[in-house]
Amino acid sequence: MKKAVILGAGTAGTMMSNHLAKKLPKDEWEIVVVDQEKTHYYQPGFLFLPFDIYQPEDVVKPIDDFLPSRAKRIMQKIDRVEPESNTVTLQNGDMIGYDILIIATGSHIAPKEVTGMMSDAWHKDVFDFYTYAGACALREKFMNWEGGKLVIHITEMPIKCPVAPLEFAFLADAFFTEKGMRDKVDITFVTPLSGAFTKPVASDKLAYLLKDKNIRIVADFAIESVNNETRTIHDYGGKEVAYDLLVTVPTNMGDSMVERSGFGDDLNFIPTDKCTLQSKVADNIFVIGDATDLPASKAGSVAHFEADVLTENIIRFINGEPMTYEFDGHSNCFIETGHGKALLIDFNYTHEPVEGSFPLGSFGPLKLLKESRMNHMGKLAFRWVYWNMLLKGTPIPFVPATMSEAGKHLEMSKHD
């Protein structure tokens, strides 16, 4: 028996296990899935927990419910991969050999990267919402918070779901407005980039949003430290922003297993061919989802598009054929703008976010780069699609892996 081993049973690993279960002959291939957790978290739901739009139980389900029955599941922490001997070592010392390895260990927050961020004030005045614990703690805090300076902050790029912090700011504006206390909450958005929207089409079309919602922006802010006594954050250039409640997105890093294996970059992301998804570490190691160093967004939708491409490529690799399927960086995401509306954006490696409609050309019900109620419904429906279709690898109707150009005003993207 040959062995396909999948490391991580989050969004990408679960999808790959289901794809490969359908494609790899049962009598020739064993599929092994390793993850340290019992629970699969619907991470996009973390955004809605603090605002009481979702309840904690909406975002958790057992990992095992989504894996194919033929997969052998191991619940252990992965210690490291040794490409020279094609083995994975687990924390309990067990070793697993593989013919094909798929790494899908994702990325997570590393608050210790910034001086003072991790302190007694963590989950008291300084919060993240990128973890289940952080989102739940913030939910508690918001229930009784009396207002003050709310600072929403991005530490450094890349982060997963790069629009989530901005959505958080929009939802906070709506939440405190609906509670009748918006006048008591001063919202500031702090980013290391040169603005909230940095792609030219988006900044043209969306600049009004922050202004309308009375959200102050501090751009080009490269954080050096958090001082939880003076309640200020400081940047390397000498700028300072005061907070009463800091909601930060800490540095995002790949798992330390990558570092122990000795093949990650300075953020533990794995060097990966951006078209084929083959790792640059060894021919029989492939990488998918947030664990890669691809210049694409780290998002579940991206992992979904990658899974289609990677499945075909792995089959071709096994058959000794050239890998012709190429990932184009296709990414789309809903952006909650508050008060029951959302935007939708769609882009890839070469095209900027465009205007138009999605996914059915000019018949598409979802408007790109325009706020609408339909888009908001689309975002909420994504949870159902995620649990019921995406993880199982069921094709989502009308949504191809590579970016469709129908119905989009692509000329809009030729900005230079």
Q: Where on the chain is the footprint of ligand FAD (CB under 6 A)? A: 8-13, 34-37, 43-44, 46-47, 77-78, 104-106, 129-130, 160-161, 164, 255, 257, 289-291, 298-301, 303, 333
- Tokens encoding 378: 């689309």
Residue with tokens 């954080």: 223
Q: How many CB atoms lie within 10 A of CB 345?
A: 23
CB of 68 to other proteins, least distance (A): 32
Which of residues 158 and 361 has its CB atom nearest to other proteins in the complex? 158
Q: How many CB atoms lie within 10 A of CB 8?
A: 26
- Reported as half-sphere exposure (CB side, CA atoms, 13 A), residue 182 has a value of 14
Which of residues 9 and 24 has its CB atom nearest to ligand FAD in the complex? 9
CB of 154 to other proteins, least distance (A): 9
Q: How many CB atoms lie within 10 A of CB 293?
A: 18
Over 161-199, what HEC string results? CCCHHHHHHHHHHHHHHHCCCHHHEEEEEECCCCCCCCC
Residue 194 binds which one of other proteins, ligand FAD, none, with CB within 5 to 8 A depending on kind? other proteins
CB distance 96 to 33 below 8 Å: no
Residue 8 binds which one of ligand FAD, other proteins, none, with CB within 5 to 8 A depending on kind? ligand FAD
Which of residues 106 and 116 has its CB atom nearest to ligand FAD in the complex? 106
Q: Strand, helix or coil at 103?
A: strand
In angstroms, what CA-CA distances link 320 with 24, 141, 379, 404? 15, 56, 40, 30
- Tokens encoding 119: 């302190």
Residue 253 binds which one of other proteins, ligand FAD, none, with CB within 5 to 8 A depending on kind? none
CB of 192 to other proteins, least distance (A): 6
Answer whether the bond into residue 158 is a cis peptide, omega within 30°. yes
Residue nearest ligand FAD, Cβ-based: 10
Which of residues 11 and 191 has its CB atom nearest to ligand FAD in the complex? 11
Q: Which residues pair with 335 in a beta bridge?
A: 343
Residue 35 binds which one of other proteins, ligand FAD, none, with CB within 5 to 8 A depending on kind? ligand FAD
C-alpha closest to that of 329 among 252, 401, 409:
401
Residue 157 binds which one of other proteins, ligand FAD, none, with CB within 5 to 8 A depending on kind? other proteins
Identity of the residue numbered 189:
F
Torsions phi, psi for 358 (to 5 deg)? -150, 145
Residue 12 binds which one of other proteins, ligand FAD, none, with CB within 5 to 8 A depending on kind? ligand FAD
Which of residues 242 and 374 has its CB atom nearest to ligand FAD in the complex? 374
Residues making contact with other proteins (CB under 8 A): 156-158, 162-163, 166, 191-194, 197-200, 202, 206, 219-220, 222, 224, 236-237, 251, 266-267, 274, 295, 297, 331, 335, 345, 347, 353, 415-416
Give the C-alpha separation, 309 to 15, whole Å.
12
Residue 371 binds which one of ligand FAD, other proteins, none, with CB within 5 to 8 A depending on kind? none
Which of residues 300 and 407 has its CB atom nearest to ligand FAD in the complex? 300
Residue with tokens 């009375």: 214
Which of residues 35 and 173 has its CB atom nearest to ligand FAD in the complex? 35
Q: How many CB atoms lie within 10 A of CB 42?
A: 20
Q: Which residues pair with 61 in a beta bridge?
A: 40
Which of residues 44 and 393 has its CB atom nearest to ligand FAD in the complex? 44
CB of 201 to other proteins, least distance (A): 9
Angle between helices 300-318 and 11-23 (to 10 degrees): 30
Which of residues 164 and 270 has its CB atom nearest to ligand FAD in the complex? 164
Could you say which DSSP state residue 279 is in?
B
CB of 244 to ligand FAD, least distance (A): 22
Give the C-alpha separation, 380 to 405, whole Å.
25
Residue 375 binds which one of ligand FAD, other proteins, none, with CB within 5 to 8 A depending on kind? none
CB of 81 to other proteins, least distance (A): 23
CB of 124 to other proteins, least distance (A): 27
Residue 193 binds which one of other proteins, ligand FAD, none, with CB within 5 to 8 A depending on kind? other proteins
CB of 239 to ligand FAD, least distance (A): 26
Q: Which residues pair with 103 in a beta bridge?
A: 7, 287
Which of residues 111 and 353 has its CB atom nearest to other proteins in the complex? 353
Q: Strand, helix or coil at 102?
A: strand
Residue 222 binds which one of ligand FAD, other proteins, none, with CB within 5 to 8 A depending on kind? other proteins
Residue with tokens 């096994």: 318
